[in-house]
Chain A
């Protein structure tokens, strides 16, 4: 899953036009619940709620969502497995009392992952940076983040182009050649990136840049009713969890 694909999906999502505050309340609000509520049944309810917003609200295509979620969920599963099993003198065995904490941790992490995926699929990085600026995060930090973000794409492009060029000259035809070629890409990526940064400095200076990256951003007003609806759903989740925990 390339980061560019993710960003493209986000900028084409129907909820792209929604106010950042609404999406942040959903994404970060449920994230907080996933981390704070007892994992049973908190993680389950949070996952259900955030998936409802993702699929029925923002209409994220299921296939795209699955390809995005596959990697983090894979990590999660293998991580949880490590907690469950124990390798000792007698070979591989279930860790005593490992099952419940592992399940709780995995559930919590999964719910949190779904929340972040919701944000990633509805909000291009661009909008997030705009939001940070409005929240009065120091300008230098936002600019640094923005330039880093731009550079990730430039360097990724550069690396992709170099790799393609090597492949065209059979640089990847065996494992040894692959290793050598990849080492070469990594070695020349830094000088290239630096040369690029220097050219970019010239380019921005030509546009009158003197240290501050100011751009006009469009602001979308948040809708009070939708915010209230989100808060209501979140309250319902909290109450349901409390009820279940109280009963048990």
Chain B
């Protein structure tokens, strides 16, 4: 595995504040889904803003492949073509008069021809399941719909890496589930995904890898299973293991399911583990 984007020893403080990031290092690997997991104020958003060159570190550097980030006008433009960022608040990114127009903004900035842009807009809207909203004015959409418009705007740029700040914040259960399905599909198409969240359940559902954040630095980075099952480590970031993992570990301790094997990612998967021997006749609820 090679890192396509990495941060080396970053330090950043907002003017007049203490450091928001300090000696932070992180690797993002091609084709994987990385969760930036940490409590409020840990510095997740600040890190994402560094990863697409919106903020410039006061110390340390960001590497694209092996190349240090280029903060010139042209460099940033290429950087942002490869690394797209979706902000937490969709209203900060949507501006055009209709959904389709808005989604066309990024690809047009990339200098693509109109025909290509049209096709990209269409496929991004379809991928996000909002093709029927194409002609609607964005300010009349619901929060979840706006979020998808913002993501479609990034996807239409066909970036190698998609950074998402709190992608499910403000969405209801169904909206979040739909979004998770969409993100999985994008991952299957080979897009590298990085998302910040304080929702450990989301990290468990979606992430391949987890970087655990606390106080502006990475406490640990590794496979989702290794991090999310380490209760002591999670406690240092003020988090608790997901309930599913809790149950799974307890079941293991009581010999109710095999002590090894991959972490279950859904209730169904846990149920299947627990009742692997006993046929599901009596537990099919």
Contact = CB atoms under 8 A, between A and B. Distances in A.
Interface of A: 4, 7-8, 11, 124-127, 129-130, 146-147, 150, 153-154, 196, 199-200, 202-210, 213-218
Contacts of A11: 135-137, 140
Contacts, number: 106
Contacts of B110: 208
Given A8-B140, A196-B92, A206-B52, 14 more contacts: A11-B137, A125-B97, A126-B96, A129-B97, A146-B95, A146-B96, A200-B95, A202-B54, A205-B76, A206-B154, A208-B109, A210-B77, A213-B96, A215-B97
Nearest to B74: A210
A203 B102 CA distance: 13
A186 to B, nearest CB: 21
Size category of the binding interface on chain B: 35 or more
B122 to A, nearest CB: 11
Contact of A216 (B77, B85, B117): B117
Nearest to A215: B101
B87 A215 contact: no
B108 interface: yes
Give the secondary structure class of B's interface: helix
B80 to A, nearest CB: 5
Nearest to B108: A214
Contacts of B177: none
B84 interface: yes
A204 B76 CA distance: 13
B89 interface: yes
A215 B109 CA distance: 9
Q: Which 10 A-B pairs have the closest CB atoms?
A: A126-B97, A208-B109, A203-B93, A215-B101, A216-B104, A203-B92, A206-B85, A207-B106, A199-B92, A214-B108
Interface string B71-107: 0010011001100110101011101111011101110
A120 B81 CA distance: 38
Nearest to A125: B97
Nearest to A126: B97
B139 interface: yes
Contacts of B139: 4, 7, 150, 153
Contact of B154 (A125, A130, A146, A207): A207
Nearest to A208: B109
A215 to B, nearest CB: 4
B140 to A, nearest CB: 5
Interface string B116-154: 011001000000000000011101100000000000011
A202 B109 contact: no
A178 to B, nearest CB: 28
B246 interface: no
Nearest to B96: A215
B84 A214 contact: no
A210 B93 contact: no
Contacts of B102: 215
Nearest to B93: A203
Given A146-B97, A200-B95, A210-B73, A205 B54 contact: yes
B100 A216 contact: yes
A207 B80 contact: yes
Nearest to A207: B106
Nearest to B98: A126
Contact of B80 (A147, A206, A217): A206
A207 B61 CA distance: 22
Given A4-B139, A200-B95, A205-B80, A214 B105 contact: yes
Contacts of B118: 216
B43 to A, nearest CB: 16
B109 A4 contact: no
B108 A203 contact: no
Contacts of B105: 204, 207, 209, 213-215
B109 A214 contact: yes
B110 to A, nearest CB: 6
B251 to A, nearest CB: 44
Contact of B109 (A146, A154, A207): A207
